[in-house]
Amino acid sequence: EVQLVQSGAEIKKPGESLKISCKASGYIFTTYFIAWVRQMPDKGLEWLGIIYPGNSDTRYSPSFQGQVTFSADKSTSTAYLHWPSLKASDSAIYYCARPGVPKNYYSGLDVWGQGTTVTVSS
């Protein structure tokens, strides 16, 4: 079964760093892009960007460029989303998701992680 399993909920203070994970199973991790999507409380969905684990090629939404970093570990089939310095406005649910077509991000996101809730509060 194709699955993306994300790390658990996090509570952090402003200014702290954070890395959340998304572990893939059931498919060849290096052949599909992984996208990251944010959902702020009771709000819609926002695309942060995408990474290709095969070569770590990344594309960021301009709204999130410089705010977050994507990475991927091929040895553990895990993608990561990293914040060097959190803000209260980063509080949200973060999803990783996989396009339905290998080696291509021109596709709907057909596999989703369960989401990681990040709470940033002093």
Partner 1 sequence: DTVLTQSPGTLSLSPGERATLSCRASQTVSSAFLAWYQQKPGQAPRLLIYDASTRATAIPDRFSGSGSGTDFTLTISRLEPEDFALYYCQQYGASPWTFGQGTKVEIK
User: Quick check: helix, strand or coil at residue 98?
Assistant: strand
- Round to whole Å and give the CA distance between 34 and 42: 24
Q: Is 23 in the site for partner 1 (CB under 8 A)?
A: no
Residue 100 touching partner 1 (CB under 8 A):
yes
- Residue 46 engages partner 1 in binding (rule: CB under 8 A): yes
Could you tell me which of 93, 122, 96 has the C-alpha nearest to residue 110? 96
Task: Report the residue from 68, 72, 86, 109 that binds partner 1 according to the rule CB under 8 A.
Answer: 109
Q: Considering the rule CB under 8 A, would residue 49 count as an interface residue with partner 1?
A: yes
Q: Which of 5, 9, 11, 45 binds partner 1 (CB under 8 A)?
A: 45
Nearest to 107 by CA among 44, 43, 52, 39: 52
Residue 8 in the binding site for partner 1 (CB under 8 A) = no
Q: Which residues pair with 51 in a beta bridge?
A: 34, 58
Residues of this chain that bind partner 1 (CB under 8 A): 35, 37, 44-47, 49, 59, 61-63, 95, 97, 99-100, 105-110, 112-115
